[in-house]
Chains A and B, each alone.
Chain A
Amino acid sequence: NAGVTQTPKFQVLKTGQSMTLQCAQDMNHNSMYWYRQDPGMGLRLIYYSASEGTTDKGEVPNGYNVSRLNKREFSLRLESAAPSQTSVYFCASNRDDAEAFFGQGTRLTVV
């Protein structure tokens, strides 16, 4: 089973460039999430989607946008990357409040 798949796995951007992180799940989950993980800060929620067609802000949404393309896919976009967005990004999914499953992460460096 593929579970939650994220692309790309690694990315280096220059300040001001844009990019989209892709996430897809094959577990028929309603809910999908984007987190970022930084040393000393733990994992923090950026955006989430409770169901297809809905999205909402999490703890640290500034500088990001999301799209819930369909039930399977949830993308995260950085419109103008900043060094402060250097982080590891994780996508997760679950069915309502059940067990959450995570992707392998995208390691993003903004120079």
Chain B
Amino acid sequence: KQEVTQIPAALSVPEGENLVLNCSFTDSAIYNLQWFRQDPGKGLTSLLLIQSSQREQTSGRLNASLDKSSGRSTLYIAASQPGDSATYLCAVVTTDSWGKLQFGAGTQVVVTP
């Protein structure tokens, strides 16, 4: 069974510092990996989707990398801002699970002014 882990569970950084969020998974037979943001009391907002054939995806200040062989993905957020404070979740779809997302528990990020 696929296990998805996000470490650390919580992270606090000063404004302007780059954020590095980690996601690891046990089964490398994935179809894709998706990063989400969740604000308190809100739904999930999709940030980036990486297909299994891709090594990275970029959107603005966000960059996500994928290394299937080592079972890792990293989300980089450049020049963090207080508005980046949220919980970040990664989720994978394995090739035998057809569209069903397996989530990590998330990393709670606080960016202090």
Interface residues of A (CB under 8 A from B): 31, 33, 35, 40-45, 48, 50, 58, 90, 92, 94, 96-105, 107
Contact = CB atoms under 8 A, between A and B. Distances in A.
Contacts of A50: 98-99
B34 interface: yes
A97 B93 CA distance: 8
B99 A104 contact: no
B33 to A, nearest CB: 11
Interface residues of B, number: 22
Interface string B71-109: 000000000000000000101010000111101111000
Nearest to A102: B44
B101 to A, nearest CB: 6
Contacts of A101: 46
22 contacts: A33-B100, A40-B105, A41-B105, A42-B105, A43-B89, A43-B91, A43-B101, A43-B103, A45-B100, A58-B100, A92-B101, A94-B99, A97-B99, A99-B34, A100-B34, A100-B101, A101-B46, A102-B43, A104-B42, A104-B43, A105-B43, A107-B41
A98 B105 contact: no
Contacts of A44: 103
Given A98-B49, A99-B49, A90 B43 contact: yes
B14 to A, nearest CB: 28
Contacts of B101: 33, 35, 43, 45, 92, 100
Question: Max chain A CB contacts within 10 Å: which of B36, B44, B45, B105?
Answer: B44
A48 B99 contact: yes
Given A43-B103, A98-B49, A102-B45, 5 more contacts: A43-B91, A48-B99, A97-B93, A104-B43, A105-B43
Per CB-CB distance, the 10 closest pairs between chain A and chain B, nearest first, are A102-B44, A104-B43, A43-B103, A99-B49, A42-B105, A42-B103, A102-B43, A97-B99, A97-B31, A105-B43
